[in-house]
Amino acid sequence: MILKGILYIVLILFSAVLLVVSLIMTALKFNTNGKQALRWLIGFGVSLLVLVFAILMLARGVAGKAKEFVGNIEEFGKEQSERMDSLNNLYTNSKDSLLESASVNYLMTLEPDSIGGRVPEQFYSYLGFRDYYRLPIVWPYSLHCMDSLGDATLYNEANVQQFDVNDNGELSCDVNGIMTFAFTKEHLIGMKVKIENKPKKVYFAYDFKNKSEKIFKNEQELLNYARGKGFDESTELKSCKDYYNGF
């Protein structure tokens, strides 16, 4: 089609030039040489016919390609629509499966009595998108990881209505760089990295009820404190990646 199009364009240009030349020569020879003027007039007519033919053929080819292009666009749109339906079904099935997982069932047992049974399903089922990872823990708290599952920031999502949009009302608890952690219904404990002159390990405990953080000298001091707050003696601090993979 491209080669034909080029040939038609060349033919259009050639016949247009010949048309103009024939018209000029007919006018010049009209009074001096009637026979030559008639020949140029015939040439003018032939050039006009060739020009019209080439234009019509080119227009026909372009229209055919345009129709084919529109058809391809419609087919592409249909395929994308079917793909989105497939992804929606996959997400729905995945979400339903996730809500029935042992990890989510455990988190549901930790829901505060005041909100029990009324936590939005998406709090448990939305785990992030692309390089953003969301790790739900005790309602209304979750850990957010950016770019990788290396470290996390603690967020309060009590005011969130929709979890898969930006600027949704989530509030940072100003506990950043969390590398490993464990939690109960009332407390989050863990190790975070604080970067000043150089990275430094910091052991902490966060009280969900009082929204306050306590710092410890080392892991053993943290674990001793945790046992007094209801943590089991076998409690181990999990990495963000291990916790995320448990869903």
Q: Give the model's pLDDT for residue 133.
A: 93
At 89, is the pLDDT very low, low, confident or very high (cuts 50, 70, 90)? very low
Element (H, E) at 139: none
**Alpha-carbon span 86 to 92, nearest angstrom:** 10
Report the percentage of the chain scoring pLDDT > 90.
Answer: 38
Residues forming a β-bridge with 192: 178, 202
The three-state secondary structure class of 167 is coil
The string of pLDDT tens digits covering residues 176-210 is 999 999 999 999 999 999 887 788 999 999 999 99
The three-state secondary structure class of 202 is strand
**Alpha-carbon span 184 to 144, nearest angstrom:** 18
Domain residue spans of the chain: 2-96, 115-245
Q: What is the mean pLDDT of residues 54-79?
A: 75
User: What does the mean pLDDT of the chain come to?
Assistant: 83
**Alpha-carbon span 8 to 35, nearest angstrom:** 32
Q: Give the model's pLDDT for residue 94.
A: 55
Q: Give the model's pLDDT for residue 93.
A: 45
- 151 vs 141, 221, 240, CA distance in Å? 16, 22, 7
Contact, 177 vs 193, CB < 8 A? yes
pTM: 0.61
Q: What is the mean pLDDT of residues 1-25?
A: 74
Q: Give the model's pLDDT for residue 7.
A: 77
pLDDT higher than 90, residue 228: yes
